[in-house]
Every structure is written in structure tokens, then in C-alpha cells.
Amino acid sequence: MLGVILCCHESLAQGLKKTVEEIIKKPLSLMVVDYQEETESAEIYLRLNGAIQKIKDEKPEAVAELGLDLLVLCDYFGSRSSTLALSLTCESLEILSGVNVPMLVAIQQILDQQEQHKDLGLLEVVKIIKQKTQDHLFYSSLFLRAKKTKDTELYQAIPVDRSDDQPVNG
């Protein structure tokens, strides 16, 4: 069974969760651990362990049958949350940094389809999430190619040819 904890500085985790829930129109199936800069590391560690216990308590039969694959999402690698997550004791643990909205949408899609993904290991699930997240990263000069028309002086968006990685100038 896949359990997900979102752990970030300040109120980022709660804000991301709320944003994604507004987009997908349903609650996210994950635990949130926010912390302030002055929060002691020991307290964050206790909160992370508390979140793991809540995940186990919510679906004890699934955890007993399948074990718990734990995915901890952090704002950036090297943060206190990612460092503390490395010391968590869990059967299977991955830490994924750089959490963002597309990543959370992808994770919820996987959680909604856990039956279809039950034969995948945690690393394969993380690779799927990474790819889906990267598929939503764009920068405007490659996404939109503008073509100025002589008659109307309007710009029209035309399909992107991503084969060249050069920005559009002018």
C-alpha cells in the first residue's frame, strides 16, 4: 500500500494540498506535516512518525497484507524534512523533493488507481510520478511560437516543435 506524507516549510504543504484539492475537486489522500523555521527537528521527526502511524491506522488490513510503501514529499532536497525523513523506519521509503502541483495531481491519480499499480515497486511508482511531473514543465518560448501576420498585426500561437531547444527571439 502506498502512503504519502507531504512535509514542507511554513504553510507550503497545506497550501499545495488546498490548491490541488480545488483543482481536482476532491480531497487528497495524503498526510500533511508543516513546520516553522523555529520548530525543533525532534518535533518534526515526531510529526512524521505520527503521520506514518495515522496512515497505518487508516488501512491496517492493506498494510498488513501489502506492507507500506512510504513516499515523503519535500519542498527541496537537503531541507530538514528530507534529512529527517531519511531516518524514518519503514519497510519501503522514498523521498521525492521539489514538490509541486502537477506532482500532487499525478500522485493522487496513482492513489486512485492503486489496484492497477499494486504490482509496481515504489521506485517504479516514483519514476512514473517524476515523468508525469516533468511532462507539465514548460517555458513559454518553446511552448508558444508566435507568428506575426502582416494583415492584422496579431500574434497567433502555433504548435511547438520541441526538437530544437533554442529559445525564440523576436
77-100: per-residue pLDDT in tens?
Answer: 999 999 999 999 787 899 999 999
Mean predicted lDDT score pLDDT of the chain: 84
Residue 32 shares a structural domain with residue 76 = yes
- The C-alpha cell at 148 is 506575426
Structural element, H or E, at residue 13: helix 12-24
- In one-letter notation, the amino acid at residue 75 is D
- In one-letter notation, the amino acid at residue 67 is G
Residue 45 shares a structural domain with residue 69 = yes
- The C-alpha cell at 3 is 502512503
Q: Can you point out the beta strands (E) in the chain?
A: 2-9, 31-35, 69-74, 92-97, 145-148, 155-158
Residue 165 shares a structural domain with residue 82 = no
b/e burial code for range 43-60 (CB count within 10 A of at least 16 → b):
ebbebbeebbeebbeeee
Residue 147 shares a structural domain with residue 167 = yes
Q: Which domain holds residue 145?
A: 140-170
Residue 105 shares a structural domain with residue 86 = yes
Which CATH number is 44's domain given? 3.40.50.510
- Return the higher-pLDDT residue of 117 and 146: 117
Q: What band does 137 get if pLDDT is binned at 50, 70 and 90?
A: confident
User: pTM above 0.85?
Assistant: no
CA–CA distance, 99 with 30 (Å, rounded to integer) = 13
Residue 34 shares a structural domain with residue 112 = yes
Residues 6+ apart with CB under 8 A from 11: 34
Domain count, the chain: 2
Residue 115 shares a structural domain with residue 42 = yes
- What was the pLDDT predicted at 144? 63
Residue 83 shares a structural domain with residue 165 = no
Residue 78 shares a structural domain with residue 153 = no
Q: Which of 114, 120, 163 is nearest to 142 (CA)?
A: 163
Residue 67 shares a structural domain with residue 48 = yes
Residue 93 shares a structural domain with residue 23 = yes
Q: What band does 138 get if pLDDT is binned at 50, 70 and 90?
A: confident
- What was the pLDDT predicted at 143? 57
Residue 8 shares a structural domain with residue 79 = yes
Ranges 59-63, 84-88, 144-148, 157-161, most confident: 84-88
